[in-house]
Amino acid sequence: MIDDEAPGKRRFLTLHDYGMGGVWWWVRARSEREVLETFAWVEVVDDPEIVARFDGEALEEVDVDAPDMPPGLDGLRAERDAQRGRAGFGAFADRDVVYLKRPWDAEPGEAAVFLMEVGPDGRRIRQVEPAEDGPAVRSGPDDWPFDPPVVDLFDPALVGQEISRSEFEEHWARAVPVDPDL
């Protein structure tokens, strides 16, 4: 699946982190941005220690322009292809911080709304869960056993969920810390 002679391309260690694990590939592309624009829900890992750890591993290596992708990566490309061209595609991709008001289906039939401060990798930085009967609850990375990306910043659906930093900060200031014993 690799054209070793592809001009201007280099290898990027690419991860699809699904929370309790992840799937890794080497993707040959012209830039990190090209990888992110081609595949939904992936991140390019550039930490030198992690890259060195995987350098000798037998990870599947693919070219970003190849017509066929390995299982897993094929679906992530199809998802991104469906998003491209829609209004709002990539609107948050170059931001360091995004503030969102997102619906969250914790249990079937139990929809919740979370206010989130999200970093450039799609992971939560801080979060507020408003409550119907009582104070809102705030939490951060130390409160979460896993912190996979919760949003894909290229997803055009996020545009309608944006809130201002001041709105988030108002809710954060009024919220109580999460109870660590729950």
**Mean pLDDT rounded to a whole number for the chain:** 91
| Domain range summary for the chain, segments of one domain joined by + | 10-83, 98-177
CA 81 – CA 87 distance, rounded (Å): 13
Band of pLDDT at residue 105, cut at 50, 70 and 90: low
Buried b (16+ CB within 10 A) or exposed e, 133-172: eeeebbbeeebeeebbbbbbbbbbebeebebeeeebeebe
Q: What is the pTM of this model?
A: 0.87
> Tens of pLDDT along 126-140?
999 988 787 899 999
Higher local confidence (pLDDT), 148 or 28? 28
Q: Tokens 């000798």 map to which residue? A: 56
Q: Tokens 């119907």 map to which residue? A: 132
Query: What pLDDT, on a 0 to 100 scale, did the predictor assign at position 69?
Result: 96
> Tens of pLDDT along 67-99?
999 999 999 999 999 999 999 999 999 999 999
Any residues with CB less than 8 A from the CB of 182 and at least 6 apart, and which? none
Any residues with CB less than 8 A from the CB of 128 and at least 6 apart, and which? 114, 115, 116, 136, 137, 138, 168, 171, 172, 175
Return the minimum-mean-pLDDT range out of 39-48, 137-146, 163-172: 137-146
Structural contact between residues 134 and 169, judged by C-beta atoms closer than 8 angstroms = no
